[in-house]
Amino acid sequence: MKKILTILGARPQFIKASVLSKILLERGEFEEILLHTGQHFDDNMSQIFFEQMKIPKPRYNLGIHGKHHAQMTGEMLTGIEAVLDKERPDIVLVYGDTNSTLAGALAAAKWPCKLVHVEGGLRSFNQDMPEEINRIITDTVSDLILCPTNTALDNLKREGLDKQPKLMVVCGDIMKDAVINFKPIALQVTTLLKDHSEIRLPFVLATIHRQENTADKACLENIFSALEKLQETYTVVMPLHPRTKAQLQKFNLNPSIVMIDPVGYFDMLALLDQCELVITDSGGLQKEAYFNCKPCVIVREQTEWVELVEKGFARLAGVNTQKITEAVAYFETAKLDYTEQIYGSEVGEKIYTALKQI
């Protein structure tokens, strides 16, 4: 039986991994070991999180978080290498574009095993973003690259990776499987909307957390100016990221919108189910908005998920107050057809099939 070491570092990666982990356990052809680097310390990843979502607890937790990029990645490399030496897996599997992804990829590349990258080929074409560097390096050293879209595959071919001895497969976006699996459960168990009487319909769901948006006072002022204007028509609800909270306090900004504590995945699914639209700088939430049939205003200049913009489900607005409010106004009357399967279906099964080929 082949052994897979799956390296995870953030709650969204655990949610994605839960889909494939379930399939691996049911089929019984691979032994999977989970390693949590600890990159994102998340109070919402309690024992209940693992029990409700039927996610196996990690065998290893390196507890590495709250450090600068280089120090964090270096410590992760050391910790992952020790686990590789102990477990000697046949396959190392990484998700997405975090520092944990990069550390796992670099460690595996120097070990006699195969490296698999789920969510490969995504590009924002902005190398000022640490995530972009992580994606490029991880794809470069991977043996199996699992692409969510044909656009992602085209990116890899443009970089010449198809000329190397790699297997590249378009399998769709595994987060879609997660939404389908967990949304019915989430709507049964969540009490968020009952617990927060200040959240009134219709509401807009907003999340802001990226460093390029939060580090600059002018950027934050522009973003929250737009949200305050929208508050005249909607309730604007923001689960407040700790970084954003700290920066608002630093710059003495007190926006008059509904700000709540960070929420768990089930509560976020409930918010997505009930909101009118989403305003975000998160990559993952752009897709989750689409999976929940909600338009999205992207508070960035680029996105990895270009299909959402090309097909009209999302609009790039940057941190321009007017562009943000104009994008919301556009979506108020836009007729969007969510029946097209732009991110595939039964993605976990396709990934499992691809794993058996290496």
Angstrom distance (rounded) from CA 79 to CA 61 = 9
Strand partners, 280: 207, 298
3-state secondary structure of 12: helix
**241 in active site:** no
Torsion of CA 112, 117, 118, 121, to 10 degrees: -160
Rg of the Cα atoms in the chain: 20
Across-strand partners of 14?
Answer: none
Torsion, CA 349, CA 358, CA 287, CA 52, rounded to 10: 60
Identify which of 241, 250, 239 has the alpha carbon closest to the alpha carbon of residue 215. Answer: 250
Residues 6 or more apart from 204 whose CB is under 8 A from it? 227, 230, 234, 235, 236, 237, 275, 276, 277, 278, 279, 328
Query: What tokens does 268 get?
Result: 């976020």
Q: Which residues contact 214 (CB under 8 A, 6 or more apart)?
A: 208, 220, 241, 243, 244, 247
DSSP letter for each residue of 294-339: --EEE-SS--S-HHHHHTTSEEE-TT-HHHHHHHHHHHHH----TT
Distances (CA, A) of 325 to 43, 44, 86, 302, 321: 33, 32, 54, 18, 6
Annotated active-site residue in 36, 69, 209, 241: 209
- The single-letter DSSP state of residue 154 is H
Residues catalogued as catalytic: 209
